[in-house]
Amino acid sequence: MFSGIVETMGSVSELRRVGPGVRLVIRSPQVAAEVTLGGSVAINGCCLTVVGGDNQHMEFDAGEETLSRTNLGRLVTGSQVNLERSLRIGDELGGHFVTGHIDAVGTLDERSDDEDWSKFWFKMPAQLGKQMASKASVAVDGVSLTLVDVERERFSIALIPHTLRVTTLGPLRQGDPVNLETDVLAKYVEKQLAFATPDASAADD
């Protein structure tokens, strides 16, 4: 479990083909020095397991499913990624509960910059709209953000200068892909509503 508060950005040092997947080597001294083998790290919001590394680098195995259903499959050597270690009991929850399980890949549809501030519109699969509401939360490339407007296949967010500066969202251009994860609570509500049916016995009374 994560909070959507990015600790730092790392860079892709190496991509090695391993079977149907890849061995992803990320350089980030800040995070690498404190993770342990088998630990979980969110990379652009996607939860992966540490399988190796040193005090400068972390290694992860990303399978074919992960590569095809997230933007990790588009990474190249030198790509910047958002990093967050998994939450520990007692950690401050500055964002919202993020599972690290990506729902879909969206794309930046429109960007409006006002000096150091920005408003982004992202395209998304229509089914995700049922799990979004204005003022609720969404994770974009692992960054916990507040939804501004929600349309059938688009949503908007407002970004402050700090977020633009310390995450991979700042350099985004129209058409760039992003990992999307909706609020886990919204998923449960949608599931329960799908099973809700009128009580037949009550209707007969």
Q: Kindly tell me if the per-residue pLDDT of 203 is higher than 70.
A: no
Query: For the segment 111-158, what is each residue's pLDDT rounded down to a tens digit?
Result: 999 999 999 999 999 999 999 999 999 999 999 999 999 999 999 999
Q: What is the mean pLDDT of the chain?
A: 93
**The pLDDT of residue 199:** 57
Q: Kindly tell me if the per-residue pLDDT of 200 is higher than 50.
A: no
Mean pLDDT of 160-165: 97
Mean pLDDT of 156-179: 97
**The pLDDT of residue 191:** 78
What HEC string does the chain produce? CECCCCCEEEEEEEEEEECCEEEEEEECHHHHCCCCCCCEEEECCEEEEEEEECCCEEEEEECHHHHHHCHHHHCCCCCEEEEEECCCCCCCCCCCCECCCCCEEEEEEEEEEECCEEEEEEECCHHHHHHCCCCCEEEECCEEEEEEEECCCEEEEEECHHHHHHCCCCCCCCCCEEEEEECHHHHHHHHHHHHCCCCHHHHHC
Confidence (pTM):
0.90
Query: For the segment 8-54, what is each residue's pLDDT rounded down to a tens digit?
Result: 999 999 999 998 999 999 999 999 999 999 999 999 999 999 999 99
Q: Kindly tell me if the per-residue pLDDT of 167 is higher than 60.
A: yes
The domains located in the chain, with CATH, are 8-85 (2.40.30.20), 104-192 (2.40.30.20)
- Which range is least confidently modeled, 32-36, 84-88, 149-153, 197-201? 197-201
More confident residue, 75 or 186: 75
